[in-house]
A and B are shown apart, each in its own frame.
Chain A
Amino acid sequence: MSVIIFGLASVLMLSVIAGLIRVERGPNPADRMLAAQLFGTTGVAILLLLAEAMEVPALRDVALVFALLAAMAAVAFVKRAWHPGPSEKGGGPS
């Protein structure tokens, strides 16, 4: 049974790859921040699955820390990291 859960956790890695592609493409800092949020949520799901499949309860604590850090990262990004220029272009598919 835990093999199936391992498999599903690796399916979620596809989601992380999608986030990596978005980080690479941008086009603006907000898109990259959004990808970081995706890592946070998907990471939490993967860790919860692994905690069950590997029977390592401590991974649930790692998931909790992931959730907290993703929230902090978003706030830090908005407050500190992104000093937007007056005419940043973001529209259009990329």
Chain B
Amino acid sequence: MGLIKINNSRCKSCYICTETCPKGLIKKSEETNRLGDYLVKFEDKDNSCVACAMCAKRCPDLAIEVFK
């Protein structure tokens, strides 16, 4: 079982992570950070994240941390 933490102040809503996650666990959110960037949210109801860290490796803003 894996878990990711998203640093909202670093995210710039490029949405590369939403298209990278092989299981589609990262989705666009309606929330914004203080600079007005629309954020992403991590939804893993079935505990299917395996902490492959592909989202974090492709995140250009170092906004994702992965735990296992």
A binds B: no
Show the binding face of A for B, using Cβ within 8 Å. Answer: none
Give B residues with C-beta under 8 Å from A.
none
